[in-house]
């Protein structure tokens, strides 16, 4: 393993289905932990100068996945102390998942289908993967991805928490882990 960061230096990678709150909670978390926040979807949009849905339409999903892989792995491996919000499909790519596991602390924002379905209208516009799908098809994709999000991640169940509470819960979880596994030693 090359250049593996210490536990305290590791990026925090937020994963989970579209709309579970990776961007919103990532921004709050970055303020609470005094770290920079990076939204990988935004990095891709800036690189192409277009929104994700336009990239899908003009370049195709395969090209989006290729650049998502390149950028996600680059941030996991070569940056430190960041809060990363990955794209909702990123963790389903084996190479991205492996980079996350090796270089980041991975936190899965876990929402039940019953709570998630009320969020659909808030997010659908710039989520091309959800376009032209019935509610049954979206639920099938949602359920199919859950087992992947659970691989080698800490799961935070967010159904009964608002954005602030979720961010606070993650801070507590991280502090506990850092103190437990890599306490600061004071002489």
Ligand X SMILES: Nc1ncnc2c1ncn2[C@@H]1O[C@H](COP(=O)(O)OP(=O)(O)OP(=O)(O)O)[C@@H](O)[C@H]1O
Do the annotations mark residue 20 as ligand-binding?
yes
Rounded to 10 degrees, what is the CA torsion of 83, 14, 151, 68?
-90
Q: How far apart are the first and last CA of the chain?
A: 31
| Count of residues touching ligand SKM (by CB under 6 A) | 9
Q: Does 19 bind ligand X (CB under 6 A)?
A: yes
Q: Does 89 bind ligand SKM (CB under 6 A)?
A: yes
Instruction: State how far the Cα of 112 lies from the Cα of 133, in Å rounded to an integer.
Output: 19
Do the annotations mark residue 92 as ligand-binding?
no
Helix (H) or strand (E) holding 65: helix 61-78
Helix (H) or strand (E) holding 115: helix 113-116
Choose, by CB under 6 A, the member of 71, 87, 103, 109 that binds ligand SKM. Answer: 87
Binding mask 45-84 for ligand X (x = CB under 6 A): ----------------------------------------
- Strands of 56-129, DSSP E: 82-85, 104-110
CB of 109 to ligand SKM, least distance (A): 12
Instruction: Give 92: exposed, middle or buried? Use CB within 10 Å, 0-12, 13-18, 19+.
Output: middle
Binding mask 44-83 for ligand SKM (x = CB under 6 A): --------x-------------------------------
Do the annotations mark residue 16 as ligand-binding?
no
Q: Does 109 bind ligand SKM (CB under 6 A)?
A: no
Residues with Cβ within 8 Å of 92's Cβ and at least 6 positions away in sequence, in order, are 145, 148
3-state SS, 4-40, equals CCCCCCCEEEEECCCCCCHHHHHHHHHHHHCCEEEEH
- In this chain, which residue has its C-beta nearest to ligand X? 21
Choose, by CB under 6 A, the member of 24, 69, 127, 151 that binds ligand SKM. Answer: 127
Q: Does 21 bind ligand SKM (CB under 6 A)?
A: no
Q: Which residues are annotated as a binding site for substrate?
A: 41, 65, 88, 145
* Residues near Mg ion, by CB under 5 A: 22-23
Q: Which residues are annotated as a binding site for Mg(2+)?
A: 23
């Amino acid at each position: 393993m090359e250049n593996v960061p210490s536990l305290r230096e590791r990026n925090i990678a937020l994963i989970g289905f579209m709309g579970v709150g990776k961007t919103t909670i990532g921004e709050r978390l970055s303020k609470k932990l005094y770290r920079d926040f990076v939204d990988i979807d935004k990095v891709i949009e800036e690189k192409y100068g277009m929104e994700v849905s336009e990239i899908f339409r003009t370049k195709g999903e395969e090209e989006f996945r290729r650049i998502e892989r390149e950028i996600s792995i680059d941030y996991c491996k070569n940056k430190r102390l960041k809060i990363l919000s990955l794209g909702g499909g990123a963790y389903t790519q084996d190479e991205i998942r492996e980079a996350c596991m090796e270089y980041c602390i991975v936190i899965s924002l876990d929402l039940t289908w019953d709570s998630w379905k009320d969020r659909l209208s808030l997010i659908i516009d710039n989520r091309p993967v959800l376009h032209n799908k019935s509610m049954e098809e979206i639920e099938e994709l949602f359920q199919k991805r859950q087992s992947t999000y659970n691989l080698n991640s800490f799961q935070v169940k967010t159904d009964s928490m608002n954005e602030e509470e979720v961010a606070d819960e993650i801070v507590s979880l991280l502090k506990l882990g850092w103190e437990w596994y890599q306490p600061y030693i004071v002489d």
